[in-house]
Chain A
Amino acid sequence: MNGDAVISTDRLTRRFGPVVALREVSLDVPPATIFGLLGPNGSGKSTLIRILCGVLRPTEGNARVLGLDIRTQAEEVKRRIGYMSQRFSLYGDLSVRENVRFYARVYGLSPAKQRQREEAVLALTGVGAYVDRLAATLSGGWKQRLALSCSLIHEPEVLFLDEPTAGIDPVARRDLWDLLFALTHQGVTMFVTTHYMDEAERCTKVGYIDKGRLIVLGTPDVLKASPEVTPRGTVRYEVTCVDPPAALAKARTVPAVRDATLFGSTLHLLVDEELEGSQLLALIAPGDSSASLRPIAPSLEDVFVTLSRAQSMEAA
């Protein structure tokens, strides 16, 4: 465990009966950074967040948040963190202001502090315009902003966000991320789970979790440059051709092609360096004069796909 880290887990394991939801997860999150956790549904993302927030006990291993032991000092941790869950979990029958005020009271803010913080978070998230609306009547994006307002009311040092942008429109998504960046500049550490690759690209550090196992961990740039993703002696190409599905089928029969994936109307290939570009095109798109290719850097998606495939092969 890293001493400076705001969040630090050590072989964290959680079982639900016979099901292992989280398997020996160890990670560190430095202060004032955004940690992005990715993974399919049911991979253990929410379980990890709930453990770190002190509402679920780990079966084995341990974790520290802000230097506090989440097993023994959970209530102290709760005072200093904010949490926004996957679902909208505020009171639909209360107004925007009533919701915010409720959380201000729950955290025991003094009346003066309460008013000051209320105005501050309403202004920050922009929901101030809707103070008297019932929360249930807000649109998805505004509900998320309200939830963020409530989780920020007590000036938390760490913010846990479980799929904060699930199901909201692209503009609201962009705005929310801008808000998150503004907060990290103020020194808040973020722990975010998401399904979106573009969101992962914006994180300081990312992790990929599958079946409870953390299989990728690092900064996006380091991960993309890692030899496991693009092994020595191989190169990544983006191929444009008339019939990409046919080309994909052919590519998979070529021994020099290590990996082939469809990306919209193009094909991403990981190929041995010895194979010339023109030779490759002749093999996978014969007779297609318009076919072309260009070398590309791996995307984060490439990183996750390659590494989880390698992991599952190892497991097999």
Chain B
Amino acid sequence: MTGFWAILLKEFSHIRRDRATVFFTFMVPVLQLIVFGFAIDVTIDNIPMTVLDLDGRQESRRFAEALVATRTFQVVERPTDAESFRRALTSGRAKVGVLIPADYSERLLRREEAQVQVLIDGSDSQVATTALNAVNLLTTQLAIGRARAVAESLQLAAARNMEGEAAVPIEARARLLYNPDLESSHFFVPGLIAIILHLVLLFLTNLSIVRERELGTLEQLFVTPVGRAALLFGKLTPYALMAFGELLIVLLAMSAIFGVPIHGDLGLLLALSWLFIVTVLGLGLFISTLARTQLEAIQFAFLVMLPSVFLSGFMFPRSEMPVIIRAISYVIPATYFVEILRGIILRGADFLDLFPNVAALAACCAVILYLSIARFHKQLD
């Protein structure tokens, strides 16, 4: 390990003089966390809705009010003619159009089947799905309510509850675990930590080596008796420590700003973070052996980052991915770390729960380290 301390101290001198790197490492991640954490809100509410109420009596108004009460919809227009109703949808001012026929209330009173036409703009599949589910759920509830009232009046019920009131024969008692308020930030932010750590670490380590290659200082170091291990550990250790500091800051920001509690063992979380940090250092080292210039290094790093962001399950659920894409996600280290973070932070998972992910991440780490160290020589060719 000749020269380890020399390289380590030198690297810290560089970092001390390089304000941009320090800012990039400690401030930018927090900003990213805030921006992305708030921006990427996947709960969809206040979908703009236009209501053409041809009936206009109490029952029909109650239907429209019930839709708004779900907070999923927001009435933006109440046109009186079919043409404006259609316009609202084609122009995109409204994503949902509700058309209540003139005989709606009458049919209900006569105990005939009443129909409401709901038009949904399907261009954004997520919005459309949410709207469809909300409308179906609401209509079913309203319908059951009416049916129950009728059943009560006839003293004839399909089933009765504990209080002896008429009830639906089967009721699912669903309970939301871990994130009862369905805050999307609670799900999203832990994954974001993995991505931020990945991004900063990959760029820092990779560039710190390629910069020396480009400047010719690496060649100068090769001519000294500094050991290969000393050179690598000396160069990478400072960035590993910085990344760890960054992790602590981001975790703090997560609980302070987004109020995401860590349900599991913080010690386990930090220990497994080191496994991920070492893996990404290895990736950075590997890229640095491929790139000759800093520009190339940045391009390679983006090449690694893109699948890590989009295929790791951080953005889109992996279960929804086509088989081939899903197969790729298995060789992305971030996939496992996103799982580990979500497991510990949200579900309070312990080592046993996480074992498959830990084992897979450790395997990624071993392969990447082996390849990158084998490729890094104290030689120019």
Q: Do A and B bind each other?
A: yes
Give the interface of A toward B (CB within 8 A): 16, 50, 53-57, 75, 78-79, 81, 83, 85, 87-94, 98, 102-103, 105-108
B217–A55 touching, CB < 8 Å:
no
List the interface of chain B (C-beta within 8 A of A). 2-3, 5-7, 9-10, 13-14, 17-18, 215-217, 219-226, 378-381
Q: Which residue from chain B places its CB closest to the CB of A82 in the assembled complex?
A: B223
- A54: B residues at CB distance < 8 A: 223
Q: Which of B14, B219, B224, B380 contacts A107 (CB 8 A)?
A: B224
Which one of B5, B10, B220, B225 lies within 8 Å of A85 (CB-CB)? B220
Look across to chain A and name the residue whose beta carbon is closest to the beta carbon of B15: A93
- Are A105 and B223 CB-contacts (below 8 A) given A56-B380, A57-B379? no
What are the residues of chain A within 8 A of B5 when measuring CB–CB? Answer: 105
**Known contacts A85-B216, A102-B6, A108-B3; A56/B381 CB under 8 A:** yes
Instruction: Find chain B residues with CB under 8 A from A85 CB.
Output: 216, 219-220
Let me know if B225 and A102 touch, CB within 8 A.
Answer: no
| Cross-chain contact B381 with A105 (CB below 8 angstroms) | no
Q: Jot down 5 A-B pairs with beta carbons below 8 A, ordered by A.
A: A53-B223, A91-B217, A94-B10, A105-B6, A106-B226
Q: Is A98 within 8 A of B7, CB to CB?
A: no
**A107 CB, min distance to chain B CBs, angstroms:** 6
8 further A-B contacts with Cβ under 8 Å, apart from A57-B379, A89-B215, are A55-B378, A56-B381, A78-B224, A79-B225, A89-B220, A91-B14, A98-B10, A105-B3
- Give the Cβ gap from B210 to chain A, nearest Cβ, in Å: 15
CA distance A93 to B15 in the complex (A): 10
> Does B223 contact A78, Cβ atoms closer than 8 Å?
yes
Q: Smallest Cβ distance from B340 to chain A, in angstroms?
A: 37
A16 to B18, CA, bound (A): 37
A160 to B9, CA, bound (A): 27
> Is the CB–CB distance between B10 and A91 below 8 Å?
yes
**B221 & A93 in contact (Cβ 8 Å cutoff):** no
| A56 CA / B18 CA spacing, docked (Å) | 32
Report the nearest A residue to B221, measured CB to CB.
A106
Closest residue to B6 on the A side, CB-wise?
A105
**Known contacts A102-B6, A107-B224; is A90 also within 8 Å of B217 by CB?**
yes
Could you tell me the distance in whole angstroms from the C-beta of B320 to the nearest C-beta in chain A?
A: 47
> Are A106 and B3 touching (Cβ within 8 A)?
yes
User: A53 to B378, alpha carbons, bound, how many Å?
Assistant: 12
Contact A108 B2 (CB under 8 A): yes
Interface residue from B10, B18, B379 paired with A55 (Cβ < 8 Å): B379
Knowing A56-B381, A108-B225 touch, does A90 contact B6 (C-beta < 8 A)?
no
Residues of B within 8 A of A94 (CB): 10, 13-14, 17
Residue pair A107, B225 in contact (C-beta under 8 Å)? yes
- The smallest C-beta distance from B228 to any residue of chain A, in angstroms, reads 10
Do A90 and B220 touch (CB < 8 A)?
A: yes
A235: min CB distance to chain B, Å: 47
| Contact status A55-B17, CB under 8 Å | no
**Across the interface, do B10 and A81 meet the contact criterion of CB distance under 8 Å?**
no
Chain B hits for A83, CB < 8 A: 220, 223
- Tell me the complex Cα distance, A81–B220, Å: 12
Cβ of A57 and Cβ of B381 under 8 Å apart? yes
Assuming the A-B contacts A87-B216, A93-B14, A98-B13, are A103 and B380 also in contact, with contact meaning beta carbons closer than 8 angstroms in the complex?
Answer: no
Which residues from A are CB-within-8-Å of B226?
106
Question: How far is B220's CA from A130's CA once the two chains are assembled, in angstroms?
Answer: 22
A226 CA to B133 CA in the complex, in Å?
99
Name the CB-closest residue of A to B230.
Answer: A106
Which among A56, A88, A90, A103 is the interface contact of B379 at CB below 8 angstroms? A56
Once the chains bind, are B380 and A55 in contact (CB under 8 Å)? yes
Shortest CB-to-CB span from A106 to chain B, Å, is 4
A81 touching B379 in the complex, CB below 8 Å, given contacts A87-B216, A93-B17: no
What residue in chain A is nearest B378 (Cβ atoms)? A55
A-B CB proximity, top 5 nearest: A105-B6, A89-B216, A83-B223, A89-B220, A106-B3
Using Cβ atoms and an 8 Å threshold, which residues of chain B touch A105?
3, 5-6, 9
Residues of A near B2 (CB, < 8 A) are: 106, 108
* Known contacts A102-B10, A105-B6, A106-B7; is-contact A78 B225 (Cβ 8 Å): yes
Contact partners of B379 in chain A: CB under 8 A: 55-57
A79 to B, closest residue via Cβ: B225
Which of A16, A81, A93, A105 has the most CB atoms of chain B within a 10 A radius of its CB?
Answer: A105
Contacts of B9 in A (CB 8 A): 102, 105
Q: Which residues of A contact B219 (CB under 8 A)?
A: 50, 55, 85, 89
